[in-house]
Amino acid sequence: MSGFDIVIIGAHSLATQYSSIVRCLRLADSQQNDLVYTDNMMNLELLFEVSNQAKDQYLYDIAWQYGNRTMYEHFRDDNSYADWSTWSRGQSWAIFGFIITYRYTKYQPFLDIAIDYDAPNNSKLSALLANGTIYHLVIII
């Protein structure tokens, strides 16, 4: 078994957490099937890359759906869950995932949600820098 075979197994293991109803990856080993979380945005690169290397459209579709659903359902315009909050760690994971998703899909809204230089008091750039994600942004632009 090659190293890439193990990576393929990992991607398919992650894919077992996908809910076609919710169009998201569920919280692993959750007793409740409807729990999803932003952390899985960090895993989209695995799905996209294995999809590319192994020509597996199913994995691509999962990654696309998860990124798209997260973009439209999990974020308020001010990137918080309440008027007085933001979650920088989760936000940086999401930004990383959106940048990766843009890299593989070239769908502009993924890049647009990852960073908006015109937004007032934009904390996204700080999250990018803190996470080291700025490297990925520079590579794809």
Going from the N-terminus, what domains does the chain have, and what CATH number goes with each? 3-140 (1.50.10.10)
Q: For residue 96, what pLDDT is reported?
A: 86
pLDDT grade for 60, boundaries at 50, 70 and 90: very high
Weakest-pLDDT range from 41-45, 67-71, 103-107, 135-139: 135-139
Chain Cα centroid distance, residue 134: 15
Chain Cα centroid distance, residue 102: 10
Q: What is the dihedral of CA 62, 55, 98, 14, to 10 degrees?
A: 50
pLDDT grade for 101, boundaries at 50, 70 and 90: very high
Q: For residue 53, what pLDDT is reported?
A: 96
Residues 48 and 63: their CA atoms lie apart, in Å, by 6
pLDDT grade for 27, boundaries at 50, 70 and 90: confident
